[in-house]
Amino acid sequence: MAVTTLPAQRTLDVPAVLKECGLAAFVAFALAAPMVGLETLPLTGGLGINTRFGAVAYAAVLVFFGRLGFALLRAGYPVPVLIASLVFAAVLISLLLTGADQILPFKSLILNWFIALLAVVITVRAAWALHRPTAEMAARERENVMDRVGIAVLRGARWLGPLAIAVAIALPFLPFADRRFLDLAILVMTYVMLGWGLNIVVGLAGLLDLGYVAFYAVGAYSFALLALHFDLGFWVSLPLAGLMAAGAGVLLGFPVLRLRGDYLAIVTLGFGEMIRIILVNWYSFTNGPDGLSGIPRPSFFGFPFTRRPAEGTMSFHQLFDVDFASIQRIIFLYYVILVLALVTNMFTLRLRKLPLGRAWEALREDEVACRSLGINPTNTKLTAFGIGAMFAGIAGSFFATRQGFISPESFTFIESAIILSIVVLGGMGSQIGVVVAAILLIGMPEWFRELGQFRMLAFGAGMVLIMIWRPRGLLAHRDPTIRLNRDGDFEAPG
């Protein structure tokens, strides 16, 4: 590159840096004071307040020095940063390892480890800056590295995909896979499926849908009502619920698909809320806020997972002549959602190579051009909406049968927001990105469960970090759907 690089400037504007760090510390203080500093305690006969101002001060000081570290790195003084952060990380980690962390202001083990990790990150960055003098170059380098990771992941998709599937299949039999872990895996997999479904609508067709949870709800309720009133089994209700959700998608699509961008987003948002409010208020049909319970559990193709099956039927453990264990049902559920998710994925990958999928992508890029090339935009959008809704409906059925109980509370706007975050943060249109983002956004907060209510803060922090580092999503890189080799034959992309 023919860019002249200026000599690394070592200028430290002390007042400006102090002001910057003070401001950051103040923001941390202002946020932490009410959220961390005050804790309500249920006392006999009222509510007491516990103060934790030590923790607030500690948080503000940490932010001050963290910011100072970054400022010094930027100004070209890596050595003091390296030493200070190294010492801090070493002290913190040794305290944690020796179990002496009780003296720290934060009582959460995970949080302390997280702070230690941040210190290590600053140390590494300082060392990196020593190695490569200008911070700007380091930033560009990092961007390049992440882009290359994105491309490499896509290139490697040929073996990475099967590898991930192999891991997913083996998962229930890994030594650490206890019931809690499997429950989490099922949850993550449900969101992967929802993410893949929404990816059709948002990532491929470019229709910003903020009410995706509506179709999830329609699927769950269709499934539950079919199963409860008509005594249909899991495997019959599942596709029916999918079809009903698809119908709801098309029905919504008709009036709203003339709208674009922001307007479409707002209308879909409204639709999501409408469905929830109908579920709450149509008491005679949906049982309102009390929800529906007693939704039948799935059977192993007719063989139930019960210890003592009803007279004349055989249960799963009798069929395979193994001892009864409740985990068998969990493992089965895990495989069901795995298969459903994989079907969603293969369906999408296949569609992308067909004219319909191409039309979706073209529509996302330029609707006017599409019209003048003979694409019927209404039908194209409707199919995207309908197919996306269908997968949400199927995932909703799975949710209903897994929980055995559903109520409108499971289908609030925050669900739509989470699913959309998974798609956007994964890198719109990237199938593997959805998996990574679902693991990060659903799995991580579960690990942070110890933080209690502050879990959503971890969720928010994760989103902000991704937005700063990868504004176009973790694995944003579009792969063409076909290539033509030298002889003019078509080949699938590698």
Partner 1 sequence: MLKVSGLRAAYGPVEALQGVDVDVDAGEIVALIGANGAGKSTLLMTICGAPRARSGRIEFDGRDITRLPTFEIVRLGIAQVPEGRRVFPHMTVLENLQIGATPAEDSYFDDDLDRVFAMFPILEERRHQSGGTLSGGEQQVLAIARALMSRPRLLLLDEPSLGLAPLVMKRIFEIIKEINESQEVTIFLVEQNAYHALRLADRGYVMANGRIVLKGTGAELLADEGVRKAYLEGG
Asked if 487 is part of the footprint of partner 1 (rule: CB under 8 A), the reply reads no
Q: In the bound complex, what is the minimum distance in angstroms from residue 329's beta carbon to partner 1?
A: 45
Asked if 480 is part of the footprint of partner 1 (rule: CB under 8 A), the reply reads yes
Asked if 183 is part of the footprint of partner 1 (rule: CB under 8 A), the reply reads no
Asked if 1 is part of the footprint of partner 1 (rule: CB under 8 A), the reply reads no
Instruction: Please report which residue ranges of 257-326 form alpha helices under DSSP H.
Output: 261-281, 283-286, 316-319
Residues 308-337 that bind partner 1 (CB under 8 A): none
Asked if 478 is part of the footprint of partner 1 (rule: CB under 8 A), the reply reads yes
Asked if 491 is part of the footprint of partner 1 (rule: CB under 8 A), the reply reads no
Asked if 371 is part of the footprint of partner 1 (rule: CB under 8 A), the reply reads yes
Asked if 366 is part of the footprint of partner 1 (rule: CB under 8 A), the reply reads yes
Q: Which of 11, 40, 44, 372 binds partner 1 (CB under 8 A)?
A: 372
**Cα–Cα distance list, 45 to 38, 39, 40, 50, 89 (Å):** 19, 17, 13, 16, 44
* DSSP secondary structure, 185-251, as one string: HHHHHHHHHHHHHHIIIIIIS----S-THHHHHHHHHHHHHHHHHH---HHHHHHHHHHHHHHHHHH
Report the residue number, 99 or 374, with the smaller CB distance to partner 1: 374
Cα–Cα distance, 169 to 241 (Å, whole number)? 26
Asked if 376 is part of the footprint of partner 1 (rule: CB under 8 A), the reply reads yes
Asked if 151 is part of the footprint of partner 1 (rule: CB under 8 A), the reply reads no
Contacts 24+ apart (CB under 8 A), 171-178: 171/334, 172/330, 172/331, 172/334, 172/335
Residue among 251, 148, 265, 133 nearest 198 (CA)? 265
Cα–Cα distance, 97 to 157 (Å, whole number)? 39
Q: In the bound complex, what is the minimum distance in angstroms from residue 478's beta carbon to partner 1?
A: 6
Identity of residue 295: I
Q: Single out the segment in contact with partner 1 by CB under 8 A; choices: 137-145, 179-187, 233-241, 356-364.
A: 356-364
Residues composing the chain: 494
Asked if 374 is part of the footprint of partner 1 (rule: CB under 8 A), the reply reads yes
Residues 21-40 that bind partner 1 (CB under 8 A): none
Identity of residue 484: L
Q: Which of 369, 414, 467, 492 binds partner 1 (CB under 8 A)?
A: 369
Asked if 147 is part of the footprint of partner 1 (rule: CB under 8 A), the reply reads no
**Cα–Cα distance list, 309 to 104, 299, 318, 326 (Å):** 54, 11, 9, 14
Q: Single out the segment in contact with partner 1 by CB under 8 A; choices: 119-127, 242-250, 294-302, 478-486.
A: 478-486
**Cβ contacts of 248 within 8 Å, gap of 6 or more:** 214, 215, 218, 275, 389, 393
Q: Which of 358, 413, 446, 472 binds partner 1 (CB under 8 A)?
A: 358
Asked if 350 is part of the footprint of partner 1 (rule: CB under 8 A), the reply reads no
Q: Single out the segment in contact with partner 1 by CB under 8 A; choices: 88-96, 184-192, 274-282, 360-368.
A: 360-368
Q: Which of 339, 373, 456, 464 binds partner 1 (CB under 8 A)?
A: 373
**Cβ contacts of 184 within 8 Å, gap of 6 or more:** 442, 443, 446
Interface residue list for partner 1 (CB under 8 A)? 355, 358-359, 361-362, 365-366, 368-377, 478, 480-484, 488
